[in-house]
Structure 1
Amino acid sequence: MREEAEAVLRRLAGEHARLRDDQWRAIEALVADRRRVLCVQRTGWGKSAVYFVATALLRARETTGPTVIVSPLLALMRNQVEAAARAGIHARTINSANLDEWDEITEQIHAGAVDVLLISPERLNNPDFRDTVLPRLAATTGLLVVDEAHCVSDWGHDFRPDYRRLRTFLAGLPERTPVLATTATANARVTADVADQLGDALVLRGALDRDSLRLAVLDLPTPAHRLAWLADHLDKLTGSGIVYTLTVAAAGETAEFLRSRGYAVASYSGQSDDTDRRAAEQDLLDNKIKALIATSALGMGFDKPDLGFVVHLGAPPSPIAYYQQVGRAGRGVDQAEVLLLPGPEDAAIWRYFASLAFPPEEQVRSVLNALSTDRPLSTPALEPIVDLRRTRLELMLKVLDVDGAVRRVRGGWLATGQPWEYDAARLRRVAEARTAEQRAMREYATTGDCRMEYLRRCLDDPGAAPCGRCDRCAGPRFDSEVSQPALAAAQAFLGRPGVEITPKKMWPTGLEAVGVPLRGKIAPGEQAASGRAVGRLSDLGWGSRLRGLVGPESPDAPLPDDVAGAVIEVLKAWARGDDPWPARPVGIVAVDSRRHGQLVRGLAERVAAVGRLPLLGAVRRVGGGAGPRGNSAQRVLALHDAFEVPPELAERLATLDGPVLLVDDLVDSGWTLTMVARLLRQAGAPAVLPLALAIAG
């Protein structure tokens, strides 16, 4: 059987390819012993070779159904379909991008013409797929592969509730159906949790060293220094690679700056269009660009063997997540540079993402109570009822679905009526684990010991030992010096103020159900126009300055001169730029701010003085709006009737023949400016141009 396996591998990977003993042990356990196997192996170990070879052997020996691979990313699916074809294995994928092919693929599966079917974990609970395709698929599966299996565990760095639905899939498999779960980023706790969910699993754990990676950390004082360092050194890094950032805004800014310095780069994030993401991936694979500037959306599944470097502008929140991302590099080359450029702003970004954790019990119970009917409710219909942002609401519903408390059906969600307990103790322990991971990531950046050994110890690798290659073992290969021209260019680039405030055009769904008589499109005569802000709180340049001024814990204070100057520059560019305001403002109105009243008044007065415009007054807060709200519907509910236009301001608005400039400190959801602009338009303002110091996010 091993000779047959070696022949399949040669078709897959070339005439010189040979199975290592650890790969063969996994294949033998799957094919000969029909075991459930968990492989915790370093990135680049060759997990796809294991499941493709096992598939070929199983399909050749008896009539079995296809191998089903549950994979988190379409990028991986595309790569795997192409790889399978090289070994004569017919692979197909069912995903949201090929709905018109589902019937054809299902017929091919039933006819035995598909060797490998790749699906996403989310597909397991699509009502049509779950109820019509999944039962028959589970009953005929020849091999189940769970890729990136650490996602099964909520102790893992990238927990995805949809992965927990694999328990249902596992329960429907015929007896002795082999199962392979693979991951490179599981410590002992995650490994034990995943193995327990698989049931009676053979755990094959290998050493996690990557002898091609040369790890280093560079301590640079500001975002401008970090961008300047990249501009000076990117062309000195061998081949092409990935520059990871912590936020979408940072990815866009970094790509724009590096292009301005002559580099061929592209940006990549979860907000990018799928066509653009695929084109960017292909350009990197073809070495048409020097680097892809990416968020963690480019992570699991992207495979480029000759990737020469991975640089992080900002540290991920855990050493385990960091190891997973740097594992993209050096798979098919002798040496690859892995550089971390941490920043003091990293911790604030970690805190934001930690705030998206599972909600408190009272919010969960309110959702369960709302769903205790015979009529399903969609996620948008639930938003006016529960104070959660949509991403947190959807995550919570998925967890409740996995726990059996709710069920996804056509039209939304239904409560099942099954008893459900809020596991506060486990959630607290998971939160404590996240805090410990953040502390460990800070220690990684400052350790005086071997960096690879440190990462391996975080992953509970018993063979962790000094690597002899990192900057602590072998000395630094790069210094932190930046050239004055590059630094000046980066400072000028990041110092440019001005981002657009996009106006709202539609009211949130379901407001009428909670007594707010608003629905559909916002009437054109009640809309705000496009506005401007100095920057985003997540910006590399102005972000840190603005967080200290209008962030959630910032005190009220007078408007600083440097920020006032930035506001004036924004107004000048707005008046003369490529997308200028429709007409020059004829007056200024301030928003009554509870948190930063002095700051907003100072901003309005400064702009009025510089622009020689009358300060018409302020829209008065009369109630509601009790702090930030979770989602759009809840914010509109809180803000409805929360402001009024004083009579004297209304009289002035009625006489105007041009736009008013509406001044506020922070645009979070955008609904405060939307509601206030609506009042001003109703009071007679011909147009409303929002102006704020910052945009959240």
Structure 2
Amino acid sequence: MDTQALYTTSESDSDPGFYAEARERLTLLTGREDDFRAGQFEAISALVQQRGRVLVVQKTGWGKSAVYFLAAHLLRRRGRGLSLIVSPLIALMRDQMAAAARAGVRAQAVNSANAHEWESVLAALEADKLDVLLISPERLANPRFRDEVLPGLLHRMGMLVIDEAHCISDWGHDFRPDYRRIREIVASLANDVPVLATTATANSRVVDDVAAQLAPEAAPGAAPAAHDGDTEPGDSTAEPADGERGVRILRGGLSRDSLRLGVLRLQDSEQRIAWLTEHLGELSGSGIIYTLTVAQAEDVAQHLGAHGYEVAAYTGKTDPDERQQLEQALKENRVRALVATSALGMGFDKPDLGFVVHLGAPSSPVSYYQQIGRAGRAVQNADVLLLPGKEDVRIWEHFAQASMPNQQRADDVLGQLSTAQPLSAAKLEAAVDVRRSALELLLKVLEVDGAVKRVSGGWLATGQPWHYDAARYERILQLRREEQQAMLDYERLAPGACRMVYLATALDDDQAAPCGRCDTCAGPWYPQSIGTSAVAQARASLDRVGVEIAPRKQWPTGLDALGISLKGRLPTDEVAEPGRALARLSDLGWGPAVRAALQDQDAPVPEGLLGAVVRVLSEWDWQRRPEVVVSVPSARRPQLVSSLAQGLAHIGRLPYAGELSWASGGPSGSVEANSAFRLSGLLGCFAVPEEMRARINGAAVLLVDDEVVSRWTLTVTAGELRRAGAQAVLPFALGMRG
């Protein structure tokens, strides 16, 4: 397909005055005398002159925001109403609004990052002093915005823009339930209200799905959506006949000429971090180092910082204000790199980003393309290197299933919401055995499917039934696994099979030609050697042991729904001291060894782990040294826990007082349960044996367990020991999740 042939609209085959007007505004927007890029004016013309519905699929950096800001301004000049832009890119909104102001576009945003500005923004909206309002998709679920603001917007809307439109589709790599509300908005619009959807990461399946959601109510005999290859050059501005308005799909080539791709397969995490430490300084400019987990980002940032690099960790746990500061530091090249999870994704714009390195691969070529698209937008050369890890597939599988709803959970939630009084998420969590993050995601799914409604004070059921579409979710899960295999295939491409062509093809772009730059086209461009000292330093860094276990000090909310009268703070004389775990399960260092011990069949603790545990205890800055060892009884791993406790007692020359006993049949429920249900299944289920009481009375107890999931087992058992006379309880576990 000849890309240039698709975009022939110019001043010669459109209204010359309109072209000149649009061109003038483009100069003001960009601050340069550049002409439109191929397809930009065609999209603007389709929106402003034809009032059509347009889906733009173009690579990052093509200028999708220029299309919607200029179209919004030109529509406004023609007496149309305000344009609403729905975008997940909160960080990018700040830059976009500054650019829009240069072109005379009055744009404001309402999102979680500017709550202090909401009232003034809504006042300007009410006074009709805005041309563009940018919102996040989550704003559509806000009761006040949905009920008080959105109806007025819809009544006088000049254009609807859906940025990162692949999020609409179940099949998109970054599907978000909140985006599904947009379908209802589209359906409510008059057919002459322009709609623009934009994305850089959509294959044909996603394109067809999004186009179907954008299409206006079709009249009998209406034509299907027009793809960019379905019309003759020069026909792009022709006005469709009444009843034949479809969705115009403008799709360009996705190959990125500035990117030099490579994959370096190394033996383990030590070598990957050693390579990065030794060669990061050789990469051009500043960039992003992506990891798959928060723990990995923190570990890598700490190691690189200790070896002289100006880097910082950027994850979902990073405070919003700090995120903004870190983004600005990278934009101004005050840091060499941000070591980031996917939290630094679509919403970051630094045109001169010089490199992107992945320690661990994203779960699909499409996700990978989206992340590396941050680099090389305004520079001729940018380096993109993937250092895959052995743990990648395990992490992919976890995230692939984590967001899937199920019928039983939905029924439990709907049953609780069938009363006349709304329930908050906190009260729901105590009433249904679903963890908070999964509960909030399920509520979003149920809301966009019409089964529940968010109101002031919480959630209510609408009475509309909801049925789990098992076949649909199984298809989605199968697709995710096919994408995972495609990513593994990308990692193992044979020489001559161009990496850029592979990524473009994964997005169903058949225009890509071999790049001649990647390591399969031209051979490895990156150093492959690693010095022994760098490996030794990485090994020492990853050999760090000890993670604090913060004690629980507050009972879960809503326990009264389970018949439990506890609330507020735990009694101070029953709270454990801060504890320690050998490692998080997601750590790059000791995480794999701890996971193996927890996943294998029950057996005595391995000698290597026991030695590392001793190091944790020797580095523990406890205020009172433990005087006796007690273990938590385990149904799944009795040998592991008892051998760990006895081994520590032997090495530390401490008495082992044995294990606590089970009462009332022992714990019930799952370790995966939410806080309220997990606590409910543990209360009253442990007892201190009589023969143990004298040995712990007045003593500091080292309480040993295998794994920390919710911290409630250690909280409850510590409380039993304190009530039985222990002066202090110091929890210890091999591994900790999170």
TM-score under structure 2 length normalisation: 0.91
1:153 to 169, 173, 176: 169
- Could you tell me which residue of structure 1 aligns to residue 202 of structure 2? 186
Once residues 514 and 470 of structure 1 are traced to their aligned partners in structure 2, the CA distance between those partners, rounded to angstroms, is: 59
Cα offset, 1:647, TM superposition: 1.7
- Could you tell me which residue of structure 1 aligns to residue 269 of structure 2? 223
8 Å CA contact retained: 2:279, 2:527: no
1:419 to 462, 465, 470: 465
2:62 to 45, 48, 55: 45
- Could you tell me which residue of structure 2 aligns to residue 364 of structure 1? 410
Q: Match for 2:394: what amino acid?
A: A
CA offsets, 1:652-680, max 9 Å, x none?
323x2x32110011111111111111111
8 Å CA contact retained: 1:385, 1:514: yes
2:690 to 647, 650, 671: 647
1:535 to 583, 590, 594: 583
CA offsets, 1:112-160, max 9 Å, x none?
2112211110000101111111110121221211111111111111111
Counting matched residue pairs gives 687
2:384 to 338, 348, 357: 338
Cα offset, 1:626, TM superposition: 4.0
Of residues 350-359 and 160-169 in structure 1, the stretch that sits farther from structure 2 once superposed is 350-359
Q: How does 1:435-454 map to 2 (within 5 A)?
A: 435-448=481-494, 449-454=497-502
8 Å CA contact retained: 2:672, 2:709: no
Once residues 647 and 515 of structure 1 are traced to their aligned partners in structure 2, the CA distance between those partners, rounded to angstroms, is: 29
SS of residue matched to 1:383:
helix
- Could you tell me which residue of structure 1 aligns to residue 225 of structure 2? none
Are 1:502 and 2:553 matched, yes or no? no
- Could you tell me which residue of structure 1 aligns to residue 237 of structure 2? none
Cα offset, 1:293, TM superposition: 0.5
Once residues 687 and 514 of structure 2 are traced to their aligned partners in structure 1, the CA distance between those partners, rounded to angstroms, is: 66
Q: How does 1:6-21 map to 2 (within 5 A)?
A: 6-21=23-38
CA offsets, 1:473-519, max 9 Å, x none?
11111133211121111000001111111111111111121122321
8 Å CA contact retained: 1:139, 1:174: no
CA offsets, 1:418-469, max 9 Å, x none?
1322211111100110111111111110111211111111111122332222
1:212 to 233, 258, 264: 258
CA offsets, 1:544-586, max 9 Å, x none?
1111011xx3211111111111111111111xxxxx2121111
- Could you tell me which residue of structure 2 aligns to residue 517 of structure 1? 565
Cα offset, 1:306, TM superposition: 0.3
Once residues 221 and 172 of structure 1 are traced to their aligned partners in structure 2, the CA distance between those partners, rounded to angstroms, is: 55
Q: How does 1:76-475 map to 2 (within 5 A)?
A: 76-199=92-215, 200-448=246-494, 449-475=497-523
8 Å CA contact retained: 2:670, 2:678: no
Q: Match for 1:396: what amino acid?
A: L
Of residues 27-36 and 137-146 in structure 1, the stretch that sits farther from structure 2 once superposed is 137-146
Once residues 310 and 625 of structure 1 are traced to their aligned partners in structure 2, the CA distance between those partners, rounded to angstroms, is: 47
- Could you tell me which residue of structure 2 aligns to residue 585 of structure 1? 626
CA offsets, 1:338-395, max 9 Å, x none?
1000011111111221231323211211111111111111111111232222111111
Once residues 513 and 436 of structure 2 are traced to their aligned partners in structure 1, the CA distance between those partners, rounded to angstroms, is: 44
Q: How does 1:543-692 map to 2 (within 5 A)?
A: 543-550=591-598, 553-574=599-620, 580-621=621-662, 622-654=665-697, 656=698, 658-692=699-733
SS of residue matched to 1:146:
strand
- Could you tell me which residue of structure 2 aligns to residue 25 of structure 1? 42
2:72 to 55, 60, 70: 55
Q: Match for 2:192: what amino acid?
A: R
8 Å CA contact retained: 1:267, 1:294: yes
Cα offset, 1:174, TM superposition: 4.2
Q: Match for 2:491: what amino acid?
A: A
Are 1:68 and 2:68 matched, yes or no? no
Are 1:36 and 2:53 matched, yes or no? yes
SS of residue matched to 1:467:
coil
Once residues 686 and 587 of structure 2 are traced to their aligned partners in structure 1, the CA distance between those partners, rounded to angstroms, is: 30
Of residues 329-338 and 415-424 in structure 1, the stretch that sits farther from structure 2 once superposed is 415-424
- Could you tell me which residue of structure 1 aligns to residue 539 of structure 2? 491
Of residues 93-102 and 409-418 in structure 1, the stretch that sits farther from structure 2 once superposed is 93-102
8 Å CA contact retained: 1:378, 1:412: yes
Cα offset, 1:77, TM superposition: 1.3
Cα offset, 1:86, TM superposition: 2.2
Once residues 184 and 401 of structure 2 are traced to their aligned partners in structure 1, the CA distance between those partners, rounded to angstroms, is: 30
8 Å CA contact retained: 1:387, 1:629: no
Once residues 653 and 21 of structure 1 are traced to their aligned partners in structure 2, the CA distance between those partners, rounded to angstroms, is: 77
Once residues 422 and 612 of structure 1 are traced to their aligned partners in structure 2, the CA distance between those partners, rounded to angstroms, is: 57
8 Å CA contact retained: 2:59, 2:254: yes
| Distance verdict in 2 for CA 1:20–1:97, change over 3 Å | closer
Q: Match for 1:648: what amino acid?
A: E
Once residues 126 and 650 of structure 1 are traced to their aligned partners in structure 2, the CA distance between those partners, rounded to angstroms, is: 54
Q: Match for 1:518: what amino acid?
A: L
8 Å CA contact retained: 1:47, 1:182: yes
Cα offset, 1:524, TM superposition: 1.1
Once residues 157 and 443 of structure 2 are traced to their aligned partners in structure 1, the CA distance between those partners, rounded to angstroms, is: 28
Stretches of structure 2 that go unaligned for 5 or more consecutive residues are 1-17, 216-245
8 Å CA contact retained: 1:312, 1:340: yes
Once residues 499 and 422 of structure 1 are traced to their aligned partners in structure 2, the CA distance between those partners, rounded to angstroms, is: 40
Once residues 592 and 373 of structure 2 are traced to their aligned partners in structure 1, the CA distance between those partners, rounded to angstroms, is: 30
Q: Match for 2:404: what amino acid?
A: F
TM-score under structure 1 length normalisation: 0.97
